Structure 1
Amino acid sequence: MRRFSLWLRGKPTVADSMLAAILFTLEVFVFTASGDRSPWVQLVMGFLLCLPIVWRRKYPRAAAGAVLVMSITITFISYSIGDLDAEHPGLLALAVALYTLVAYVDRSTAAVYAVGLAVDSALSIWLLEQELVAAGLFSVLVFALSWITAEFLGARRAYDEEVAARLVVADYDRDRRAEDAVAAERTRIARELHDVVAHAVSVMIVQADGASYALKTNPDIAKQALTNIASTGREALAELRRTVSLLRTEPATDDMPQHGTAGLARVVDMMRSAGLPVELELTGELDDISPAVSLGVHRLVQESLTNVLRHAGERPRAKVRVRRRETDVLVEITDNGNSSGQFSLGSGNGLLGMRERVAVLHGTLEAGRQTDGSWRVTAKLPLELED
């Protein structure tokens, strides 16, 4: 039954046709059982009275007007012939038409129609000599009930439509938030992969170049460079495994990288092994800050030193200062710049990745050439992340 009701909601003309058929069936039952001398005339008038109900929702004004005109016509025909019964059950179509105007059009149109109903009722009482109090009171009650029902059901329908609209908006917002979360996660993982791969590959390239130059003249240095390449490759592979594990349903938390002061010292040692003199200065307690901030500091230092190794020209040097302050962590990486004009920003993805990482941590980042020709990266990362 519920299925059938839901099916009818999507087919208003079918539902209205069924309502018109019910009203006409009442007409047939009354006039075939009453023994009236002219039942076919009555049935034709009843049919024309009920017929406009079929289109009451598709053309509400026209249907309501047709029902009212037919009702007035029945009154005049009954008055003219004199022996016809004017009590048509199909006259309930007037109440249905009033309900339709209130629910689907507007109150002003329904009020004008109610005036027409009052005129029709007055003509019927006057011309057919019906009892004033009984007929008038019955008409008022039926039409008032029709109006009140339309108001109630119209308000409920408007509420349902608003709820449906809100659900659509909520579904859209939920889908959009899910898409944003997926995009943010993909960006984060891409940034991690870039940091790991770019750093490791840069170090390995520098070491390989050094080994190729020293292979004939100084085999010991070449051997040390090859050892550093292997060590860097293994460490990069381990980092890649940790990063890829983030894509799994249950990441291996025991293998998560340890950063802090030990991680910074390891990065600096690796860069020194690659031939980049690095001075490291750590101030304050850096091992008890949040993992997100600690990872941010680690990646900033790693990416900045990798850029120095790539682009700072001949005999590069770098200085790393990490200072924990009262509300934030200050990270400064400065290279000598070499004043040779060989400094290059490359593709810019490294600096862009640093800016994205700092923005995620609600910090600030400044990067640029100083007046003495050096290049400085300065980042401030708040200790307490905002929600």
Structure 2
Amino acid sequence: MRRFSLWLRGKPMIADSALALVFFALEVVTFVSSPREERWPQLVVGFLICLPVVWRRKYPRVSAASILSMSYFATLMMWATGDPAAEHPGLLALGVSLYTLVAYVDRRTGAIFACFLALDMTFSLLVIRQDVILTIIIATLLYALAWITAEFLSARRAYDEEVAARLEVAEYERDRRAEDAVATERTRIARELHDVVAHAVSVMIVQADGASYAVDSNPALAKKALGNISSTGRDALAELRRTVSLLRTEVSSDLMPQHGTAGLAKVVEMMRAAGLGVRLELTGELDDVSPSVSLGIHRLVQESLTNVLRHAGANPKARVTVRRTETAVLLEVVDNGTSSSTFAHGSGNGLVGMRERVAVLHGTLETGRRPDGSWRVYAELPLEIHD
């Protein structure tokens, strides 16, 4: 049953078609209860009222307008035929349309539709002259229930989407931190490898030079030097093999960041999905900068927006400005100047990591709170890095 429910959730037109069929079945029951020949137009109108329900989620505005138009038309038919008993239970679809507009479009559209519903109800009461108080009470309860249900379900759906987006951000950040940890470890191993190999080669060169000078005058010393060369070479080879074996496992390409403007857009899109209002401003050609600078920009923006998402309150906002000049790339991230402890704080190494990354790129980094209360991260990364 649960599997069928999940399958049905992914095919909304099937569920909406079933709902339209239920409404039309009510129309048929009403038609059969009064089987007079002149009632056939009533069944046709009932069918036209129920039909737009099939597309209520795919084309909500068109569907709602069609159902409302048929409601006006049905009222005119009752007035023209002088038959107030020609009821249409399919007009319950008006409540469904109100729910759909509020839940899937916006409240403003739903409010406009509700005004037209009020006009439709007033027109019907004037034409048909039914029990005014009872009709108003029933219609008001129906439409109020539709609106409240839409508000509740849309809020729940928005909450679920935000939780899913935050989980995605957390998972992405976890993978990124794992990748950074691997990269850091590889850097350490490479440093050790350099030290081992450089030391071994230096010793071997010194021993070889000494052996070449002593091979004629002191063969024993030369033999000892050659033995040291052999031993040092074997030790260096063993260390080289051990270190290289640690580097054979490759990091998945999916964890590698996408550089350039596409990578920044991906980070901004992910943060927006998590509930962070981000405005991105890019100036200059940023896709042809060196990979190290591009990665630095990517990481600084990612870390800064993550910090804003954590600490900038219930309605966080940020502005990201990346501008390329002739000699450097200027990066600025500013939040909306609020703070909250709603979300868990990080490890406290974010600013330290950003400073280390900027230092490696020979750039400058400024962070701190501005007079208006907003937090600002400003970095200047030179385009040419000189070792």
Establish whether TM, by shorter chain, passes 0.5.
yes
Q: Quick one: which amino acid aligns to residue 133 of structure 2?
A: V
1:233 and 2:206 are equivalent in the alignment: no
Determine the C-alpha separation between the residues in 2 that align with 1:58 and 1:122. Answer: 29
Q: For each residue in 1:77-129, what CA deviation from the matched residue of structure 2 results, as whole angstroms up to 9, or x when unmatched?
A: 01111236332110111001111111122222211211111111122222112
Aligned residue number for residue 148 of structure 2: 148
Alignment of 1:351-370 (within 5 A): none
SS of alignment partner, residue 86 of structure 2: coil
1:87 and 2:119 are equivalent in the alignment: no
Q: Quick one: which amino acid aligns to residue 75 of structure 1?
A: T
Aligned residue number for residue 193 of structure 1: 193
Q: For each residue in 1:139-180, what CA deviation from the matched residue of structure 2 results, as whole angstroms up to 9, or x when unmatched?
A: 010000001000100101111111121122122212212222
Q: Quick one: which amino acid aligns to residue 3 of structure 1?
A: R
Alignment of 1:206-355 (within 5 A): 206-236=206-236, 239-240=239-240, 243=243
Offset of residue 11 of structure 1:
2.3
Aligned residue number for residue 136 of structure 1: 136
Q: Scaled by the length of structure 2, what TM-score is found? A: 0.60
User: Could you say if the C-alpha distance between residues 110 and 17 of structure 1 is closer, same or farther in structure 2, counting changes exceeding 3 Å?
Assistant: same
8 Å CA contact retained: 1:102, 1:151: yes
8 Å CA contact retained: 1:207, 1:226: yes
SS of alignment partner, residue 65 of structure 2: helix
Q: For each residue in 1:251-280, what CA deviation from the matched residue of structure 2 results, as whole angstroms up to 9, or x when unmatched?
A: xxxxxxxxxxxxxxxxxxxxxxxxxxxxxx
User: Could you say if the C-alpha distance between residues 36 and 138 of structure 1 is closer, same or farther in structure 2, counting changes exceeding 3 Å?
Assistant: farther
Offset of residue 211 of structure 1:
0.8
Aligned residue number for residue 97 of structure 1: 97
Q: Quick one: which amino acid aligns to residue 64 of structure 1?
A: A
Q: Scaled by the length of structure 1, what TM-score is found? A: 0.60
Determine the C-alpha separation between the residues in 1 that align with 2:54 and 2:93. Answer: 11
Q: Quick one: which amino acid aligns to residue 31 of structure 2?
A: F
SS of alignment partner, residue 5 of structure 1: helix
8 Å CA contact retained: 1:215, 1:222: yes
8 Å CA contact retained: 2:186, 2:247: no
Aligned residue number for residue 13 of structure 1: 13
Unaligned 5+ segments in structure 2 are 250-355, 361-387
Aligned residue number for residue 55 of structure 1: 55
Aligned residue number for residue 203 of structure 2: 203
Please say which structure displays the higher CA radius of gyration. 1
8 Å CA contact retained: 1:42, 1:84: no
Aligned residue number for residue 270 of structure 1: none
Determine the C-alpha separation between the residues in 1 that align with 2:18 and 2:181. Answer: 51
Q: Quick one: which amino acid aligns to residue 134 of structure 1?
A: L
1:168 and 2:168 are equivalent in the alignment: yes
The worse-fitting range, judged by mean Cα deviation, of 15-24 and 32-41 is 32-41
Q: Quick one: which amino acid aligns to residue 35 of structure 1?
A: P
8 Å CA contact retained: 2:84, 2:128: no
8 Å CA contact retained: 1:193, 1:243: yes
Q: Quick one: which amino acid aligns to residue 55 of structure 1?
A: W
Offset of residue 246 of structure 1:
6.3
Unaligned 5+ segments in structure 1 are 250-355, 361-387
Offset of residue 197 of structure 1:
1.8
Determine the C-alpha separation between the residues in 2 that align with 1:134 and 1:239. Answer: 91
Determine the C-alpha separation between the residues in 1 that align with 2:64 and 2:189. Answer: 66
Identity across aligned pairs (percent)?
68
Offset of residue 231 of structure 1:
3.7
Q: For each residue in 1:190-247, what CA deviation from the matched residue of structure 2 results, as whole angstroms up to 9, or x when unmatched?
A: 2222211221122112212221232112213212212322342354356457656867
Aligned residue number for residue 177 of structure 1: 177
User: Could you say if the C-alpha distance between residues 60 and 240 of structure 1 is closer, same or farther in structure 2, counting changes exceeding 3 Å?
Assistant: same
Q: Quick one: which amino acid aligns to residue 137 of structure 1?
A: I
User: Could you say if the C-alpha distance between residues 157 and 231 of structure 1 is closer, same or farther in structure 2, counting changes exceeding 3 Å?
Assistant: same
Aligned residue number for residue 157 of structure 1: 157
SS of alignment partner, residue 38 of structure 1: helix
Determine the C-alpha separation between the residues in 1 that align with 2:36 and 2:108. Answer: 40
Q: For each residue in 1:319-364, what CA deviation from the matched residue of structure 2 results, as whole angstroms up to 9, or x when unmatched?
A: xxxxxxxxxxxxxxxxxxxxxxxxxxxxxxxxxxxxx9xx99xxxx
Alignment size in residue pairs: 252
